[in-house]
Amino acid sequence: MDRNIFVLGIDEFNLQQLRAIRNADNYQFHSLLSFDEVKAHGTYPFQSILDHARDRLEGFAGRIDAIVGYWDFPVTSIVPVLCRELGLPSPSVESVACCEHKYWSRLEQQRLLPDMVPGFASVDPFDADAAAKVELDFPFWLKPVKGTDSLLGFRIHDRAELDDALSKIREGIVHIAEAFDTFLAHVQLPKAMAETSGRYCIAEKLIKGRQCTVSGYVYRGKARVYGIIDSINYPNGMSFQRYQYPSRLPKAVKARLKEASITLMEGIGYDQAAFNIEYFYDEGADTISLLEVNPRISQSHGHLYEQVDGRPNHQIMVELALGEEPCVPRRQGPFGCAAEFHLRKFEDATVEQVPSDAQLREIKRDNPGTFIDIAVEPGMQLSDMMEQDSYSYDIAHIFTAAHDQHELLEKYDRIVEALPLKLGDVQAAGS
């Protein structure tokens, strides 16, 4: 009998990944709200999304075997709430909230991995004396305790930048803060978190080095790491350029990353789900610093794992949600390495032309192992795009694979050169 798996925030790209997992013929994937319904409007109506999801589940005549999601908030937070209500395998809402709330997460990281946590402090941006109360020395990062895609994250070098960032945060934080507070109402919060609402921010000392993401899962209380992916920035040091798998970090460093990840996830009581943790490795000091914890698979890594290991990591997510121990393939794919590149523009512009579906198919045909997702449309002004970092505009995602890194980078350059993507300046668009 087919097993019914409901996907919160389903989209076509990830549905293709789900259909590529082991035993996919035995699963029926159902839409539990589309991507547009949960993420595409730049707002986060947590309660409305939760109520609509409940209605669709209640209206389903068959057996519900699992609920999964691979997007950031609010998807990551709604899934465990629904699973708790239906008695389905899932991490506790408290362990998910601990990962999602940057300040709470730092407190637990400091308890379990004190040598890997940078200096940090909570900041109330609505406090008239907020800037004066930040005791960290410049420079530091300032970001909401709940954010997505680096939204409202600022690198602060002096008091003027701090005042400006606080002003922008006060103006833009409310829509996600209200939604996050609605989620936190479902959580038994520790006393240390009682006053730190979704409207708070966290200030964190800068960390440096080679960035990477550790992918793992916890099954019946035991954590396991199944992959490490390098995260590489553009030369500005703040805008993300690509994920690359497998990681090129030294073997001994990978062993330390695995041990730290297991200690943390078992220590916070996270269970029956996948996770990914972002770190920095400073080669000169031989130190590891933890950036953040995400209580989900990284859906953008699925294509990488499929090309190198033979199956997308969506398989791990599904099998855990069904209460099963995951089957993790290794090095069974057609390529030796793979990457997801973020093609960015660093100045505002107007989109004049994007590739047609036929042109994208031709590029993919000429470059096996490639998938291209264009994030812009003709007539769009880049500054109107939602959920961008504070320094650039993410206009396309290019997934590709090769036998080694040299071939991979050459292949990416050929793909970008072949893309008929044309941008014009803003003044020209208005003339």
Asked if residue 225 belongs to a domain, the reply is yes
* Structure confidence at residue 387 as a pLDDT band (50, 70, 90): low
Read off the pLDDT of each residue in 115-124 and give the average, rounded to a whole number.
97
Same-domain check for residues 228 and 357: no
Q: How many domains does the chain have?
A: 3
End-to-end CA separation in angstroms for the chain: 61
Identify the pLDDT of residue 427.
55
pLDDT at 51 over 50: yes
Q: pLDDT for 397-425, tens place per residue?
A: 999 999 999 999 999 999 999 999 999 98
Asked if residue 104 belongs to a domain, the reply is no
Last residue of a domain, one of 189, 205, 221: 205
Same-domain check for residues 88 and 213: yes
Report the DSSP beta bridge partners of residue 277: 214, 293
Last residue of a domain, one of 173, 205, 237: 205
Q: pLDDT for 73-101, tens place per residue?
A: 999 999 999 999 999 999 999 999 999 99
CA-based max dimension of the chain: 63
Give the C-alpha distances (Å, rounded to integers) separating 425 from 239, 331, 422: 21, 45, 10
Same-domain check for residues 302 and 395: no
Same-domain check for residues 278 and 410: no
* Residue closest to 372 by CA, chosen among 413, 411, 404, 340: 340
Range of the domain at 363: 337-430
pLDDT at 428 over 60: no
Same-domain check for residues 426 and 296: no
Same-domain check for residues 265 and 345: no
Asked if residue 129 belongs to a domain, the reply is yes
Same-domain check for residues 69 and 215: yes
Asked if residue 415 belongs to a domain, the reply is yes
Last residue of a domain, one of 164, 180, 205: 205
CA distance 129 to 112: 32
Same-domain check for residues 353 and 404: yes
Task: Write the DSSP string, 138-155.
Answer: SSEEEEESS-STTTT-EE
Q: pLDDT for 324-354, tens place per residue?
A: 999 999 999 999 999 999 999 988 899 999 9
The answer to which of 19-28, 210-219, 340-349 has the lowest mean pLDDT is 340-349
Q: Which two tokens stand for residue 41?
A: 């409007």
Identify the pLDDT of residue 214.
98
- CATH code (residue 409): 3.90.1170
- CATH code (residue 189): 3.30.1490.20
Read off the pLDDT of each residue in 114-140 and give the average, rounded to a whole number.
96
- CATH code (residue 314): 3.30.470.20
Same-domain check for residues 28 and 70: yes
* Prediction pTM value: 0.91
Identify the pLDDT of residue 286.
98
Same-domain check for residues 161 and 242: no
Asked if residue 114 belongs to a domain, the reply is no
* Residue closest to 294 by CA, chosen among 152, 19, 101, 78: 101
Asked if residue 81 belongs to a domain, the reply is yes
pLDDT at 429 over 50: no
Q: pLDDT for 243-299, tens place per residue?
A: 999 999 999 999 999 999 999 999 999 999 999 999 999 999 999 999 999 999 999
Report the DSSP beta bridge partners of residue 154: 142
Same-domain check for residues 79 and 228: yes
